[in-house]
Structure 1
Amino acid sequence: MSTSISIENLNVYFGEHHDLFQAVKNASLSVEQGASFGLVGESGSGKSTILKAITGLAPQWDGHMAIEGADLTHKRDRTFYKTVQMVFQDPYASLHPRHSVDQVLTETLHLHGFDDINNRINKLLLDVGLGPAFRFRYPHQLSGGQRQRVAIARALAPEPDILLLDEPTSALDVSVQAEILNLLSDLRSEHGLTYLMVSHDLAVVAHMCERVAVMQNGEIVEIIDVADMRAGKTTQDYTASLLHASANRVA
């Protein structure tokens, strides 16, 4: 099976000169096509920074990154964004408050050169469990879960191969989180998607992913299969402490 995401010896920096901070240190991982791979760790461990480096939102980096065999430079072109899309943590912040669902999806489809936009929008809304009745609503008329479904529809609009998921349920009510996670699992199966998912919640990652990289202070300290994680088979004390902290939820 081919590799969708390849990262080798990645370093990511913020600031400059005396204020330079290294957020990611010598990180390496690979994600096979169609797989779901998790990045876990405490807040500030660097996991979301890796997603930002991939998308170009963290431009100060060195090392090697490749998407479907194509090396990434410090610029991202339209081809990249047709292949890779990101779903952000906060559905309240990621949608323009004055743009209807129709405007959000129309703009994205136009940007990526699609026609037959009317039918595409209706299909996208059906795919994420909303349906055409939501098409002309505005964000303030939607619940948090519904907003995140719109954000997922927007990410699916360019027909990407890879979704980067940055804590996609952490801003939602617990009752809604499982619905969104199950939706993402279904979409991955239906569309043959590859996921790279950031979470601080090991239970979420255990539900969604096959392999997990554990991050601490900007470094990947361990890459572990979810089956081993569930069984408590870890080589690192830090991973063991994370597992112990969430022992009641990783099952």
Structure 2
Amino acid sequence: MNMLEIKDLNVWFGHSHNRVNAVKGATFSVAEGESFGLVGESGSGKSTILRAITGLAGQWSGEISVNGMQLGKKREKSFYKTVQMVFQDPYASLHPRHSVDQVLGETLSLHGFRDLDARVVKLLDDVGLGQKFRFRYPHQLSGGQRQRVAIARALAPEPKLLLLDEPTSALDVSVQAEILNLLVDLRKDRGLTYVMVSHDLSVVGHMCDRLAVMKSGEIVEILNVAELRQLKAQHPYSQELLQASL
């Protein structure tokens, strides 16, 4: 079964002569339990696709289905128990005046969970932080620790699909591998499905089973990771990306 299906997705910003077509005719599917990458240069429409899925980009046409349910223009509360997103900048995505306990506790409460203390502790353990970080504030955490909190918050509703918007690009190189390995382990342990945006082909090669290459808002090619590693891209732009990454 497919966890995500995108058919002929168009996303735009502005109106009439000011309209910018950010995504044009994107079509792909992601199987349950799969990790799927979206790669391409800045401005190619990768993150815009994630924003359309979550409802953060309101102007779109086409079809988006999650776990067999076709989405309309508005997202029901139940949608966010199935789909969660991890953003690029872990500091900007956390409230500076909320402790880790508040961030996780409020998310759990919002989704109807009751045993908050035990769940907060379990989430912190699952992302490799532990109880000692429970009452700290974002400014007391490193970039990697903040991203672990952001991942814990995304896991709190027990979603099936995680959207990862360049989750390590704002972090030091030494920390990036730790976060990527954490995400690999969480996917395996929880049976999660990932859609991951990245401009780094080595990250996608490590994390994903298949990937779509985007250029100027369009998907120009879909490859599996074996084809990526063997440099078997067909489209000239995909070949350029591969050569640039070597």
Question: TM-score interval w.r.t. the shorter chain?
Answer: over 0.9
Partner of 1:240: helix, strand, or coil? Answer: helix
Distance, in Å, in 2 between the alignment partners of 1:106 and 1:126 is 15
- Once the two structures are TM-superposed, the CA of residue 113 in structure 1 deviates from its matched residue by 0.3
Give structure 1 regions of 4+ aligned residues with deviation exceeding 4 angstroms. none
CA distance in 1, matches of 2:243, 2:12: 31
1:246 positional shift: 0.5
- Deviation per CA, 1:197-247: give whole Å up to 9, x if none: 000000000000010000000000000001101001111110011000111
Structure 2 counterpart of 1:21: 20
Q: Which residue of 1 aligns with 2:52?
A: 53
Q: Spell out the pairing of 1:202-241 with structure 2 (5 A cutoff).
A: 202-241=201-240
Q: Secondary structure at the match of 2:234?
A: coil
For 2:11 and 2:94, how far apart are their aligned partners in 1? Answer: 27
Amino acid at match of 2:184: S
| Secondary structure of residue in 1 paired with 2:73 | coil
Instruction: Tell me how far apart the structure 1 counterparts of residues 78 and 136 of structure 2 sit (CA, whole Å).
Output: 30
TM-aligned CA deviation for residue 17 of structure 1? 2.1
CA distance in 2, matches of 1:79, 1:112: 9
**Any idea what SS the aligned residue of 2:222 has?**
strand
RMSD across aligned C-alpha pairs, in angstroms?
Answer: 0.4
Structure 2 partner of 1:101: 100
How far apart in 1 are the matches of 2:47 and 2:81?
Answer: 21
Q: How does 1:112-131 map to 2 (within 5 A)?
A: 112-131=111-130
SS, match of residue 206 in structure 1 = helix
Q: 2:6 matched to 1:7?
A: yes
- Alignment partners' CA distance in 2, 1:145 and 1:234: 33
Q: Distance in 2 between matches of 1:102 and 1:217?
A: 41
The separation in 2 between residues aligned to 1:143 and 1:107, in whole angstroms, is 22
Cα-to-partner distance string for 1:9-68 (whole Å, 9 max, x where unaligned):
000010112211100000000000000000000000000000000000001000001001
Deviation at 1:78, TM superposition (A): 1.0
Q: Residue 38 of structure 1 aligns with which residue?
A: 37
The equivalences for 1:61-210 within 5 A come to 61-210=60-209
Quick one: distance in 2 between partners of 1:122 and 1:65? 35
Cα shift readout 1:108-135 (whole Å, capped 9, x = no counterpart): 0010000100000000000000001100
Per-residue deviation, residues 82-122 of structure 1 (Å, max 9, x unmatched): 00000000001000000000000011001000010000000
- Structure 1 distance, partners of 2:226, 2:173, is 24
SS at match of 2:91: helix
- State the TM-score, normalized to the length of structure 1: 0.98
Amino acid at match of 1:13: W
TM-score, normalised via structure 2 length? 1.00
SS class of match (1:78): coil
Corresponding residue SS for 1:232: coil
Amino acid at match of 2:229: R
Where structure 2 has 5 or more consecutive residues not aligned to the other structure, the ranges are none
Identity within the alignment, %: 70
Deviation at 1:179, TM superposition (A): 0.1
Give the SS at the match of 1:91: coil
Whole-angstrom distance in 1 between the partners of 2:209 and 2:38: 11
CA distance in 2, matches of 1:126, 1:233: 40
Distance in 1 separating the partners of 2:78 and 2:222: 30
**CA distance in structure 1 between the partners assigned to 2:98 and 2:180 by the alignment:** 26
